[in-house]
Amino acid sequence: MPSFSSKRRVRHSASEMFDLVADVERYPDFVPLCQSLKVRQRTPAADGKEVVVADMTVSFKLVSESFTSKVTLDRPNLKIVVEYLRGPFSHMENRWTFEPKSDQGCDVGFFITYEFKSRMLAMLMGAMFDTAFQRFAAAFEKRAAAVYGPPKART
């Protein structure tokens, strides 16, 4: 089963980066391959978490696929978990972590594992997905600079 993980130090706070990743409605503006995203439901929980159910359409050249995910926004623990509900995958899960660092920055962790239901779709989109995941971190860092200003200088 394909998977990808990365951990990058960024010069924005863990809270800022959590907010940026949690703002799923903005993904079509900057996330590679994300053509559209529609939030179906947003449910706050008593423990400070929030659950979002969303439909995302990804496209590459002539191939376009939509899927539905459940996104658990765990602000108290600075974690985001995405669970696959329906669409072209037989399995998909991804996790984000945001670890504060003493220099006003944070370590952003990203992990995803997925498998397409169709072997043909896996051949068409598999390599492109791998490339896109490698560009995800840079896309979020660029978005953070646009939203919060340039990375904070170390003192």
How far apart are the C-alpha atoms of 89 and 104, rounded to whole Å?
38
Question: Looking at residue 99, what is its pLDDT?
Answer: 97
How far apart are the C-alpha atoms of 18 and 2, rounded to whole Å?
25
Q: pLDDT tens digits, the chain, 155 residues: what are they? A: 788 888 999 999 999 999 999 999 999 999 988 999 999 999 998 899 999 999 999 887 777 889 999 999 999 999 999 999 999 889 999 999 999 997 779 999 999 888 888 887 777 666 666 677 777 878 998 999 999 988 665 44
How far apart are the C-alpha atoms of 76 and 11, rounded to whole Å?
21
CATH among 3.30.530.20, 3.40.50.970, 3.10.450.50, 3.90.79.10 for 3-148: 3.30.530.20
Question: Looking at residue 32, what is its pLDDT?
Answer: 85
Question: Looking at residue 154, what is its pLDDT?
Answer: 46
Burial 100-110 (b: 16+ CB within 10 A, else e): eeeebbbebeb
How far apart are the C-alpha atoms of 71 and 133, rounded to whole Å?
18
HEC string for 113-142: EEEECCHHHHHHHHHHHHHHHHHHHHHHHH
